[in-house]
Structure 1
Amino acid sequence: MAAERAGIELHAFVVMSNHWHAVLTDPEARLPQFLQLLHRLVASCMNAFLGRTENFWSAEHASVIALESAEDVLDKIAYVITNPTAAGLVRSPEEWPGAITTRLGERHVATMPEVYFRRHGARLPERARIDCTVPPVLREQDAETIDRRLRILVARNVRQARSKVRASGRTFLGADGARTMSPWQRAATAEPLRRRRPTVAVSDPHDRKAALARLRAFRSMYRIALSRWRSGDRTARFPEGTYMMRVFHGACCDPAS
């Protein structure tokens, strides 16, 4: 529902125990709206289910990374699919009991939860279909070739994850173990503090340089436009991709090139 309202195209996703990953396209530059609505609905439902009232999500900003090439997109989709295995939870992505896509073009049907929404009279459909589409950067390529390349990447990630688990002397938790984990239990491994939060993911060095140059240009144009706006110039044009100034303040934006 959140994706439909914000015009988001979903390509792959996985819902983990305390976070989620997705590969998506934002053709209307409304990703913040999608994240806000999705996170609000999930937080309201889960807090009602768990009988809690505290913040459900971490206060830090969501990690949003632009993928530049077809290879980068495929690699990230494979990362999403194999995330439960890479985390040492299940031996194969198909075993994950949570919501997950395991191939391109999947369709999922979600049923409205009994908790929270029905009690509060939410005007939501009983069932909602989630259609995962092929990413635009891959649509001109042969479907069988793309599927084969994705299967190779997924198999590589699974193989590496299993090898890592064996080397550590541990075993996979398994689907039943994942289902019975306490929602109040904290992760045993601490997240590194002040780690880098990349904005773009590019495997090719030349493409990475070009992507970073575009990012710097966007930020420079945004700063200039914001300075003009603050000085009272309402004709200031913000670069394509601007969200807050466009949506909340009605600022003009350059069209997509």
Structure 2
Amino acid sequence: MPSPRYIEPNATYAICRRIEGRRFLLRPDGKLTALFVYLLALCAAKFGVTVHMATVMSTHFHLVVTVPNGNVSEFMHALDTHLACAIQVLRRYVVGVVWAPGQLTIVQLHTAEAVAHQIAYAMVNPTAAGLVWRPEQWPGLNPTLEELGRRTLSAGKPDFYFTGKKWAEAGSVKLELPMQCFADEQEARAAIAQELEAQLAEARAEIRARGWKVMGPTRARNVSPYRRAKTFEARGTLRPHVAAGPGQTEARIAAIEQLVEFRERHREAKRALVRGGPGRRVPARHILDGQASRRPRGAVPVAPALSRDLFTDLSSLRGAGVRAVRRGECREGARGGILRVDDVVFRRTADH
């Protein structure tokens, strides 16, 4: 079972999602790019997500986003679900699942250095993979540094899957600079440019050292979506949940300690809630099951009127008009503020 995710408001995340079996289902042709932009725009608007960077490779995609409302799991669940269904129709004959199970990576970025590093990493990805010599040559979605804060991604509704009035005729989302991490626009662009230059030089040096022949944008655009990547891929590597950027050791240690403390208190609270009884302490801010791919409401906040502390007394929750309800009522009760741990759901009653 995945570990619970610590959620903070206005957090910035680096997100990566991979195709099962490393197939080229995200081949950078016009229809796929329009599909991705359309769904990204709709999901970002629905969940209030700010998009800083988006790069779509043939076998995976990268996002750098800021999530004001702490609903990163719900955002990715909606994006992944609709994108997978549409890809099944677009590519046809897709056997099995689209996304690699357990391969959703969501890393919280704790410093400005980490944000700049991840934005540059996404930009350089086509070059680091040996597909193009310059990032701007990539035929798919891969905005340049000059386009950040200025370009608006837009696309019409794809006609091969989305039908009816439920879906908007078009979607658009502006690529915003991460100004919450920097003093001004000039500082943000300078930090990203410095990282971009360093990573691009490193990627090109790796291409020369390995003797790779760059594929080029035309071949990348025309490759069969049913083929698979054959290059070596390391397995069993670390999959961090937090990042602080190069050289930010103290910030990284502080972020890890914060995450470890949260998970320890989460385990204690879960055991206490399972035991039950008055006086037990349960998390009153967020209970995370960590399975956003199966449960779209993986992180549900309790109504703020109950308590702003991370822990509160179960007896006080009962006194505030919270009652246990069935799992089936979880969806309709979400608007009133609910608290969920595994199969037990607590919800504020209507008179409170």
TM-score (norm 1): 0.88
The answer to whether 1:130 aligns with 2:173 is yes
**Residue in structure 2 matched with residue 165 of structure 1 by the alignment:** 207
1:217-253 deviation per Cα after TM superposition (whole angstroms, max 9, x unaligned): 1101211221222233698442755445994796748
Higher mean displacement: 15-24 or 100-109 = 100-109
**Residue in structure 2 matched with residue 79 of structure 1 by the alignment:** 121
The answer to whether 1:226 aligns with 2:267 is no
Cα displacement (A) at 1:211: 0.8
1:28-48 deviation per Cα after TM superposition (whole angstroms, max 9, x unaligned): 111111111111111111110
Question: How many corresponding residue pairs?
Answer: 254
- Cα gap change, 1:242 to 1:87, in 2 (>3 Å): farther
Q: Which runs of 5+ in 1 are unaligned?
A: none
Provide the C-alpha distance between the structure 2 equivalents of 1:108 and 1:15, rounded to a whole number of angstroms.
Answer: 13
| 3-state secondary structure, aligned to 2:196 | helix
User: Within 5 Å, which residues of 2 pair with 1:47-196?
Assistant: 47-53=88-94, 54-103=96-145, 104-105=148-149, 106-118=151-163, 121=164, 123-139=166-182, 141-196=183-238
State, as a whole percentage, how many aligned pairs show the same letter.
Answer: 29
Cα displacement (A) at 1:137: 3.4
Cα displacement (A) at 1:124: 1.6
| 3-state secondary structure, aligned to 2:136 | helix
Superposed CA RMSD: 2.6
**Residue in structure 2 matched with residue 238 of structure 1 by the alignment:** 283
1:72-131 deviation per Cα after TM superposition (whole angstroms, max 9, x unaligned): 11111110111111111111111111112222213211222222113xx36222211111
Q: Tell me which amino acid in the other structure corresponds to 2:210.
A: S
- Cα gap change, 1:241 to 1:101, in 2 (>3 Å): farther
Structure with greater strand share of residues: 2
Cα displacement (A) at 1:200: 1.1
Cα displacement (A) at 1:178: 0.6
Provide the C-alpha distance between the structure 2 equivalents of 1:209 and 1:25, rounded to a whole number of angstroms.
Answer: 22
**Residue in structure 1 matched with residue 251 of structure 2 by the alignment:** 207
- Cα gap change, 1:251 to 1:8, in 2 (>3 Å): closer
